Structure formats: structure tokens, C-alpha cells
Structure 1
Amino acid sequence: MSLLTLHDISAFYGPSQALFDVDLSLDEGEVLALMGRNGMGKSTTIKVICRLLRHRGGTVTFDGQDIGPLPSYRAARLGLGLVPEGRRCFANLSVRENLIAAARPGDWDLAAVTALFPRLGERLGQGAATLSGGEQQMLAIGRALMTNPRLLILDEATEGLAPVVRHEIWAALARLKAEAGLSLIVVDKSLRELGQVADRAVILEKGRTVWEGAFQGLDAGVRDRYLGV
């Protein structure tokens, strides 16, 4: 049974339709790359999964349960963790306070998160607003992990970061897959780095699912047609 299934999802912003019969599935322990050019529906799909946007057609199933009627906080309690685009750390709180703000019991605690991101352990008492962009992204990932999710969704988690920080974050995602067996949905533009962690890919174009398959099946023709500038 799939951990997550989206079937025939339609979604709107007011009168404007953003998603048209989107299909997507994810198995336990799998890493899915959600791909497409800018404005093609990736972030909208994530909002639907996390119940931040109501869909009008189709079904969203998580661990066998239809989560369509649920508010976002109840969906999160089922095990959906989100690292949103733009980080959105609590600027007026310390690193420690950010991490424990939404913590839930489980393997991911303060010790586990700071082992994954030692920089955070060195800055627990520091204000989140004083962190570098890369450190804030680590904090956003750590905060999501502290909810002990079954599925972690990362929306452009490495965008605009220095190469050395990007490397640290991709290494952390590889560890989450290999050591923790965590299910991941990753939105990112780097095919090379996605290829190191992703098992499958789903490509959206103009709010529709246009390609789905093993990540290694993303040949030059598919990349040029749906991902090229």
C-alpha cells in the first residue's frame, strides 16, 4: 500500500484552476522528486498534500486514510512534515526554541537533530534571525524533523544557498533516506543532486501530471521537453 496517494486532484485559487487531475503516489521509505518548471503546480500540490489548500476534485490518501476533510494541523499529526519554501523560521525565538516549538515524541529529538546538523548544536541559544541563510534552512529542516514525521516534504530546500551548505543539506537528505528510512518528497532544480537521492520522479506541466517513473528514466528528451528553460 502506498503511504501517500493523490488521485485526480483538481485545485483552485478563487476562480482560477491551478491543478488538473493530478496523480501522484509515494511508498514507505521512498524518495520522490516533484519536478517541473516554475509555476507549473509543484507548490500548489504540496499545499494540497499538507491541507493548506482544499482540493475540489479527487482524493488525497495518507496511510490508507482519506485526509481531504482534515485541517492542516490534524494532517500534520498523522505524520506530514513540511519544510516550506522561504524557511519561515520564528525569527524572535532561539534555535532551541524553534526546534522544540512543534516537537512530538519519537526518535527525532534535540540530540538527533543536532547530530544531523552540528551547526545547530553550536547555536542553540542564538536567535534564529541572526543565523545565515543556510543555517536557517537547516533549522527549518530540523524543526520539521522534530515533529517526527512519516513523510518529510521539502520545497526548494537548497535554493539560493552557497555550494558548501547545499552539499551539507543534500548529505543530510541522503542520511535520512539511508539510515532513517524516511519517506521524502523533494522539490529542487538540481538534477545531479536529486539523482543521488531520488527513487522516482513526477513532472508537472501547467498543473497536470505529464510524466512519472524511475528517476533514472529521465532521459534527455524528457528533460528538454518538460524541464528545460
Structure 2
Amino acid sequence: MSLLTLQNVKASYGSSKALFDVNLTVSEGEVVALMGRNGMGKSTTVKTICRMIPASGKLIFDGQDLSSLGSHQAARLGIGLVPEGRRCFADLTVTENLVAASRHGPWDLARVAALFPRLDERKHQRANTLSGGEQQMVAVGRALMTNPRLLILDEATEGLAPIIRQEIWEAIAQLKNETGMAIIVIDKSLAELGQVCDRATILERGKTVWDGAMTDLTSDISERLIGV
């Protein structure tokens, strides 16, 4: 069953058009890679889903039309975002960051600590004293504390040390295997995406140009549509 459906979605920043024809579906419990070269519309697509910018076309989440909703209303429906660049609350502690937007559900402080044990060790530290990798864990944990039905990770491993990147990928795999949560992942690493994602949607110049199972994403297709 489709949880999220985008059909013929268009979006602009003022008079500058960014999305021309985006089509994307995510089913319950499915992990989908949203792919494409830099500047092709991936983050803009995320912003339309989270209702940060206006858009036209069909935007349906769990049977409800998103197009007339604000970002806070989309979040309440169960859309959780790990934004590009982390964006932790710098002056708040780890615990304060995690509970800032928390909602009732299975994800609580104890469960986040089980997923990322080092956050429990740093729980009294302010976010601006953490390493980049630890801040990313806070960002993921904060999104999980909203108890989303759909989790969106926008470049969640960008710029991190290899060992921290691996921890993030292991956490994503754990979420897939143990929770059945629907997930959209934006990342540049085909190898890691191939291990956790069921399907991929590729954007080029604000349009969906390929959609299919990760097993059908051949090297020829990836080189033509994603390669530099």
C-alpha cells in the first residue's frame, strides 16, 4: 500500500522553477533512494513533501492531501525529517534536542540511546560541543522522537568520518529490519544505498527520469544519470 504519492509535482522558488515533473511513491515499510546529481531537485522534493515550499500536482500522504497543509501539520501526520546540514539546536543539550519535538510513541529517549549509545554518554552536553558525527546522530534521533511513519534522511552521511558513516548506515539498516518504517534516503554512495534500499527514483533537472528496483539499477543507468 502506498504511503506517499507524488505525481506530476512542480515547485518554484519565487519565479525560479525548480521541479517540473516529479513522480515518487513510497509504500509502507519501503526504503527508497532519491538520487540524482547535485542541483537536480532532490532537496527541493524533500521540501515539497515537508511543506516548506508551495507546489502543484498530487501530493498524498496516508490518503490525505498535503498540498494545503503547513510544515507543522505534515510533521504531525507522521513525516520526520533529518535535514541536510544537521541543524541541531546548538545551545541545547543532547537530551533537550531529542525531546524538543518529541511525540508519544515507541521512540523515546531509551530507544534512541539503544540505537546510538554514545548519545546517552553525551546526554548532558550541548550540541555545539559534539563532533559532526554525534550531531548527525542527534538529528536522526530527534526525527525518530517525533515517531514518524515516514523518515526522510537528506544527505545524512555527508562529510562524516568513515567510521561514523558506517554507524549511520548500520542504524538505517536496523530501522529497516526492525521497525518496518518507510524511509527516503538521499545519499551519493551507491554501495551503501544498494544494501538498504528497495527501490530508487532518479531525478534530472527537476524531473523523474528513472524509477525501479535497486537490483535493476545497472552500472550503465547509474553512470548515465548519476555519474559525474
Interval containing the TM-score (normalised by the shorter chain):
over 0.9
Post-superposition shift, 1:207? Answer: 0.3
What are the equivalent positions in structure 2 for 1:1-229 lying under 5 Å apart? Answer: 1-55=1-55, 57-229=56-228
User: Letter of the aligned partner of 1:97 in structure 2?
Assistant: E
Deviation digits for residues 13-61 of structure 1 (CA, Å, limit 9, x no counterpart): 1111110121000000000000000000000000000000110x21100
The alignment partner of 1:33 has SS state of: strand
Deviation digits for residues 149-196 of structure 1 (CA, Å, limit 9, x no counterpart): 000000000000000000000000000000011110000000000011
Q: For structure 2, which runs of at least 5 residues remain unmatched after alignment?
A: none
With structure 1 as the length reference, what TM-score do the two structures score?
Answer: 0.99
Deviation digits for residues 68-118 of structure 1 (CA, Å, limit 9, x no counterpart): 100000110000000000000000000000000001000000000000000
- Deviating beyond 6 angstroms after TM superposition, the runs of 4 or more aligned structure 1 residues are none
User: Letter of the aligned partner of 2:164 in structure 1?
Assistant: V
How many aligned residue pairs are there?
228
User: 1: CA distance between counterparts of 2:33 and 2:2?
Assistant: 16
User: 2: CA distance between counterparts of 1:187 and 1:97?
Assistant: 27
User: Letter of the aligned partner of 1:129 in structure 2?
Assistant: N
Q: For structure 1, which runs of at least 5 residues remain unmatched after alignment?
A: none
Percent identity over the alignment? Answer: 68
The alignment partner of 1:124 has SS state of: coil
With structure 2 as the length reference, what TM-score do the two structures score?
Answer: 0.99
User: 2: CA distance between counterparts of 1:198 and 1:11?
Assistant: 26
